[in-house]
């Protein structure tokens, strides 16, 4: 019933996009999902150009099925020593407690927005599908990608963002409900009170836009997939449910948290990167407050926190780690990504 439409939208047999998840997966998860008939994603937002190219080569060597490349397109804000000082003073007690000293670190904090250098490197591969988070790149860059015949999609977290993306010429809109794990793709406002749940968001967008919608956020099982398609989505994008899969690189501490009672309490926090993202509530979120005006702008908040995280994790502590997770962990299973993909479509005709 959905096959022709899905083929046209994603180029795949199944209406499933494995959500790109920077920091917890590489090409292996993408390959497994693409081979299973879904659209596997390579999260490029935290990778350098060499690593992006190497992941693409890895996917192409493993399968001829389509895959998705995912990039961030945030504005890079200035970051000066005075701003470093505020954040370092806020975190000083933790550095003292752990007995480590704080370094200023690289200014980019490992997250560069999509740019012409990246486009130069990936152009030869003529990627079939690219998804963006945090809006779209400037028009020239957008037109350049479209000229390759690439399908371009981006996340909308409000009806306004969906209308904005449609007017810019994207091929489909990822409707990211507030239940979603990881970063909010919000880009027209910083006001988190504008963010709505998947059911409300899908209904609002379906009624007002003419291009296909990809539902994301809180979809973790076959019933959720079926319900999203019934509501008018052409496909779904699923992240959290894949976090325990064999091919994901989710850390042992993160896996433990996802399987524990703690997973039922997630919240949006800007402490780990500077932008709101959903993760399992942990020590630093409890002590500093999940949303803090003291956290520097994205991506700079990550510089100091990453140092605490790396040291603490070696001691077996997850109190400074971004335990990204959506609100619905009920579908997380220790199985292969192929099995997960098959399970997710098991209620579709």
Ligand X SMILES: Cc1cc2nc3c(=O)[nH]c(=O)nc-3n(C[C@H](O)[C@H](O)[C@H](O)COP(=O)(O)O)c2cc1C
Q: How far is the CB of 252 from ligand X (least distance, A)?
A: 15
Return d(Cα 70, Cα 246) in angstroms, integer: 21
If one asks whether residue 282 binds ligand X (CB under 6 A), the answer comes out as no
Please give the residues from 92 up to 131 whose contact with ligand X meets the rule CB under 6 A: none
- Which residues of the chain form beta strands (DSSP E)? 16-18, 40-43, 67-72, 129-133, 151-156, 172-176, 182-183, 213-216, 235-238, 266-269, 277-280
Nearest approach in angstroms of CB 134 to ligand X is 8
Q: Is 182 in the site for ligand X (CB under 6 A)?
A: yes
- Is residue 28 helix, strand or coil? helix
How far apart CA 267 and CA 285 sit, in angstroms, is 9
Alpha-carbon distances, residue 288 vs 87, 281, 296 (angstroms): 11, 11, 14
CB 235 within 8 A of CB 15: yes
Binding segment (CB under 6 A) for ligand X, from list 233-241, 266-274, 300-308, 309-317: 233-241
**Is 321 near ligand X (CB under 6 A)?**
no
Least Å from the CB of residue 255 to ligand X: 12
Would you count residue 15 as binding ligand X (CB under 6 A)?
no
If one asks whether residue 68 binds ligand X (CB under 6 A), the answer comes out as no
Number of chain residues interacting with ligand X (CB under 6 A)? 27
For ligand X, the nearest residue by Cβ is 239
Q: Which of 201, 219, 108 is nearest to 155 (CA)?
A: 201
- Sign of the dihedral defined by the CA atoms of residues 318, 320, 321, 325, in that order: positive
> In the bound complex, what is the minimum distance in angstroms from residue 302's beta carbon to ligand X?
13
Based on CB atoms, which residue is closest to ligand X, 66 or 181?
A: 181
Interaction mask 187-226, ligand X, x per CB under 6 A: -----------------------------xxxx-------
Which range of residues in 110-118, 187-195, 267-275, 322-330 is near ligand X by CB under 6 A?
322-330
Inter-CA distances, 180 with 145, 218, 267, Å? 27, 6, 10
Contact yes or no for 23/44 (Cβ under 8 A): no
| 34 lines the binding site for ligand X (CB under 6 A) | no
Residues lying near ligand X in the complex (CB under 6 A) are found at 19-22, 24, 43, 45, 70, 133, 176, 179-183, 216-219, 237-240, 324-326, 328
């Amino acid at each position: 019933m959905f096959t022709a439409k899905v083929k046209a939208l994603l180029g795949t047999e199944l209406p499933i996009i494995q959500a790109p998840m920077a920091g917890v997966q590489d090409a292996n998860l993408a390959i497994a999902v693409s081979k299973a008939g879904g659209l596997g994603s390579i999260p490029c937002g935290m990778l350098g150009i060499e690593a992006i190219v190497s992941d693409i080569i890895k996917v192409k060597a493993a399968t001829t099925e389509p895959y998705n490349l995912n990039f961030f397109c945030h504005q890079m804000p200035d970051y000066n020593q005075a701003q470093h000082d505020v954040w370092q003073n806020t975190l000083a007690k933790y550095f003292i407690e752990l007995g480590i000293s704080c370094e200023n670190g690289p200014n980019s904090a490992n997250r560069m927005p999509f740019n012409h250098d990246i486009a130069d490197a990936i152009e030869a591969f003529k990627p079939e599908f690219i998804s963006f988070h945090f809006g779209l790149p400037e028009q020239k860059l957008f037109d350049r990608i479209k000229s390759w015949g690439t399908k371009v999609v981006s996340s909308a977290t409000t009806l306004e963002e969906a209308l904005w993306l449609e007017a810019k010429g994207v091929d489909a809109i990822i409707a990211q409900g507030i239940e979603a794990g990881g970063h909010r793709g919000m880009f027209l406002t910083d006001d988190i009170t504008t963010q709505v749940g998947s059911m409300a968001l899908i209904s609002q967008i379906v009624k007002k836009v003419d291009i296909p919608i990809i539902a994301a956020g809180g979809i973790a099982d076959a019933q959720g997939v079926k319900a999203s398609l019934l509501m008018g989505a052409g496909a779904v994008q699923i992240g959290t449910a894949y976090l325990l899969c064999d091919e994901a690189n989710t850390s042992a501490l993160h896996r433990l948290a996802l399987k524990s009672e703690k997973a039922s309490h997630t919240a949006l926090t800007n402490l780990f990167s500077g932008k709101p993202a959903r993760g399992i509530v942990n020590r630093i979120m409890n002590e500093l407050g999940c949303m803090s005006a003291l956290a520097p702008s994205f991506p700079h908040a990550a510089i100091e926190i990453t140092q605490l995280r790396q040291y603490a994790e070696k001691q077996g502590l997850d109190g400074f780690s971004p335990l990204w997770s959506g609100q619905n962990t009920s579908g997380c299973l220790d199985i292969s990504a192929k099995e997960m993909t098959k399970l997710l479509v098991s209620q579709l005709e």
